[in-house]
Amino acid sequence: MDGDDSLDSDLDRLDRDALVAEVRRLRAGIRAHRDSSGHDLCWHHPRLWGLLPERVEPDVAVPPWPRFLRGCVRYREALDRELPAAPTHDREYEGPASPDDPDVP
């Protein structure tokens, strides 16, 4: 997106209290995303995208498996560089079997 003001025109109709409530709602969503840890770091985040008022189906392109896995390895290597003191979450993933499961982050 390139800053299309019409996407946020709904904000113009909100009073101060409603704007403060919206900021708090967005901050809560951002904090939930920020505080993801362990295997939750590997998921795409439709709940975060759902904080936006416009409802669009995300246009997600998925790389082929070998490239996808190389990207996962590079992401993990970046975490090692950027957060070298982060504790290790040494547990197997035991999450939902399906993206339709309500527990998918």
Asked whether residue 91 is assigned to any structural domain, the reply reads no
Two structure tokens written together for 62: 């998925």
Asked whether residue 90 is assigned to any structural domain, the reply reads no
- CA separation for the pair 101, 105 (Å, rounded): 10
Asked whether residue 31 is assigned to any structural domain, the reply reads yes
Residue 104 makes CB contacts below 8 A (sequence gap 6+) with 43, 95, 96, 98
Asked whether residue 97 is assigned to any structural domain, the reply reads no
For the chain, how many structural domains are there in total?
1
Domain that holds residue 67: 9-55+62-82
Asked whether residue 1 is assigned to any structural domain, the reply reads no
Asked whether residue 29 is assigned to any structural domain, the reply reads yes
pLDDT in tens, the chain (105 residues): 445 678 999 999 999 999 999 999 999 999 998 998 888 887 778 888 899 998 888 788 889 999 999 999 999 999 999 999 999 999 998 876 655 555 444
CB atoms within 10 A of CB 17: 8
